[in-house]
Amino acid sequence: MSASPATRTSAAPTATSAAPTATSAAPAAGADDPCCAAPLPVLGRDVAVPLVTGGEVTYAALDYAASAPALQRVWDDVAAYAPYYGSVHRGAGYLSQLSTDLFENSRTTVAEFLDCRDGDQVVFTRSTTDSLNLLAAVLPADCQVFVFETEHHASLLPWQDAKVTYLNAPRTEAQAVETLERALADRDPYGPALVCVTGASNVTGEIWPVKELAAAAHAHGARIVLDAAQLAPHHPVSVKELDVDWVAFSGHKLYAPFGSGVLAGRADWLQAGDPYLAGGGASKKVARRADGGVDVEWHTTAARHEAGSPNVIGVYSIASACKALTEAGFDTLVEREQALVRKVREGLAEVDAVQVLSLFGDDAPRVGVISFVVDGWNSSHFAAALSAEYGIGVRDGLFCAHPLVRTLLGSDPQDPGECGAPEAEPGERSLNAIRVSFGAGTPDEHVERFVRAVKELVANGARWNYRTEDGRCVPAV
């Protein structure tokens, strides 16, 4: 195609320029409405929820680590594109051509956001989990995989068909590097190897020494994939600077809904492996053989692993979020988020009954993710009270990181406990924790209300009765 959507019509959006932005479509930070007092306005910022004690309050969404609310900017960009929706890589019509341009321009936007190297491929997937399972499916034969037990299940579990070495939880950043170096030094130096590591923990929020781990991996002839699901929404991620071989993240953590993810990095293993899904789009040429079979020539581009009709809206939403974060400036976003982190941590430190979970200690760099337990409280009961009595949404459970939470709580690996479904009664300790998480769309008032609520619940107890229903703690009717 010779013309981009932006040159064909001034109304049609592209992944790089023409879509409306949150600066014109939504209240800016500092607007009269205190719910908008955040760098990047998000959907749901003015939603009122009922309290069991009576009345309503603006909902405080403090579960960003599970799914961040969509940026208003992203929603507006998608709405501007929606009338131009068409099939991608399939049609000769105007809308199909425009949608194809939008899809491929989005790939360029994501590559720029991640500071990819020349020759790196950006493959669009459904999520971080999908991305890492894709990489697991194309590992060379006899590849050895090294992964810390501290990983989210998305990066802990996909490698089970390979030869996996699970590494114990380190207690300092330096110990993480030393643990990996020892494990790699003991491996067969002649075979392929892959290290999988998180960028920021979805439990503690602590930022891992990714650059140092990448250097250790490469020094021992191994490659490394970065799970950036919790890092990319809070902190710049540069493939070049960190020197990682691949990076994976999810759109729904990055303020972009619609179920899309990214795997970006070196092309050789992706090109050599069988397509993740077999079907249209992945195939370049298909022909019947004389013996009745089928010969297939697969694409060597990212399309090799993008079979089926692409999720153009999901992909465009990721590109829009990448642009919004870049334009807002990570220096500004990080500085402001760190102020919120300090406010929460200092507030929790004033409550003797609260134990904040950490691997690397108080001085470790971290993003806006903090997990804790409260003496004398079942974590599910505490989270339910925060929601029902204060309009605050947090997460309780094992956060799909069971081995890590068990380690942090000092439990036996066989102790009972499920992610988000504790069996203990409201007043009984259980093997689970509470997680509060926030980001660029979080007003100060939300974290201030959270700290105040924690102090009141610990000091005075819940004002309502609760019961367990289908594995969840809920207000008793």
Residues 254/257/260/266 CA torsion (nearest 10 deg): -20
CA nearest 26: which of 6, 44, 48, 49?
Answer: 44
What pLDDT score does 413 carry? 55
Q: Which residues pair with 165 in a beta bridge?
A: 146
CA nearest 318: which of 111, 126, 110?
Answer: 110
Tens of pLDDT along the chain (477 residues)? 333 333 333 344 544 443 333 333 333 333 345 445 789 999 999 999 999 999 999 999 999 999 999 999 999 999 999 999 999 998 889 999 999 999 999 999 999 999 999 999 999 999 999 999 999 999 999 999 999 999 999 999 999 889 999 999 999 999 999 999 999 999 977 899 999 999 999 999 999 999 999 999 999 999 999 999 999 999 999 999 999 999 999 999 999 998 999 999 999 999 999 999 999 899 889 999 999 899 999 999 998 999 899 999 999 999 999 999 999 999 999 999 999 999 999 999 999 999 999 999 999 999 999 999 999 999 999 999 999 999 999 999 999 999 999 999 987 655 555 544 455 555 555 678 999 999 999 999 999 999 999 999 999 999 999 998 887 899 998
CA nearest 152: which of 204, 211, 215?
Answer: 204
**Strand-pair category, 163-167 with 144-148:** parallel
- Residue 162 to residue 106: CA distance in whole angstroms: 33
- CA geometry: angle 173, 175, 180, nearest 5 deg: 105
What pLDDT score does 420 carry? 46
What pLDDT score does 410 carry? 87
- pTM for the model: 0.90
Is the distance from CB of 344 to CB of 450 less than 8 angstroms?
yes
What pLDDT score does 471 carry? 79
Look at the block and give the residue holding tokens 């699901």.
229
Cite the DSSP H helix spans in 237-362: 239-242, 268-272, 312-328, 330-349
Contacts with 427 (C-beta within 8 Å, 6 or more apart), sequence order: 376, 377, 378, 381
- Residue 450 to residue 457: CA distance in whole angstroms: 11
**For residue 158, what are its two tokens?**
């996909």
Give the residue numbers marked as catalytic. Answer: 400
Look at the block and give the residue holding tokens 């970065």.
226
Q: Both ends of the chain: CA-CA distance in Å?
A: 62
Q: Which residues pair with 261 in a beta bridge?
A: 125, 250
Is the distance from CB of 13 to CB of 102 less than 8 angstroms?
yes
**For residue 477, what are its two tokens?**
């009717």
Look at the block and give the residue holding tokens 């330096």.
174
Is the distance from CB of 372 to CB of 434 less than 8 angstroms?
yes
What pLDDT score does 18 carry? 38
Is the distance from CB of 123 to CB of 302 less than 8 angstroms?
yes
- Residue 158 to residue 180: CA distance in whole angstroms: 19
